[in-house]
Chains A and B, each alone.
Chain A
């Protein structure tokens, strides 16, 4: 392996020491199983939270508890989902054994701001539609509003790629994004045909961004495994 005699000396004289050095974990990466459990656990918590929210909204509607109760339930659900996302993000980062770089901290802050704005805008537009249904161009303009912070989340990833000084982490992020894009496009195409030709249930278009985001986490497991 070593062509240079100078390097060969290092190799021979320090093998034992090197072996000791190489066994010291700086910040151990969790097993792939732990990551999968973390991912599935987060998904289940989100599903349970969504089901609880659905149940609460149904109860509010059927008992005619009014708009303030619906807004309160929505606000609690939003804060809960944001907290779950933030906790998962931190746990996931810890599981990969990485240190949070300033670029990562900025990306997370931008993502959380976008997610908060998204939740507020989405709820506001939904309630506005219920209270005062709009038509035409104004309806389109309002419908586009919640999509803008989602684009903000994509923009946060773009900025991260520009600001991250660790080229390996940039490469991993790009690889994850490419795999996730391929997987999401494939899934969307397959599901589209299944809807058209096999009466599969309709999946709303806005769901594909969360699918993409989830796919990046799944891709991360495989990408890091390959570089280990």
Chain B
């Protein structure tokens, strides 16, 4: 186990994935990345992260399904989850939070917002 908090980033958009991982890395987190839902779940099972930053719209397994899977898994149920979505509808946000997400950010977001949310969840 590393001393630095482990953050799992999952997004099918390569640019956003590298941006988020780069900036979280600069902020002192250890970052692992996944480009779709199943590999994110595999990574999380392999090494349980402290925080997962998940895109809602991912192929094969959406962020919301992923949260539900985390919550159903004994080992992963304690992982803090931040959902990222381009969908700003109240209903989407509600669905995400109902599935067990701890926070919901709408794209585009300022990186400082994300950093603050992650820091808060780790506190």
A and B: interacting chains: no
Q: Which residues of B contact A (CB under 8 A)?
A: none
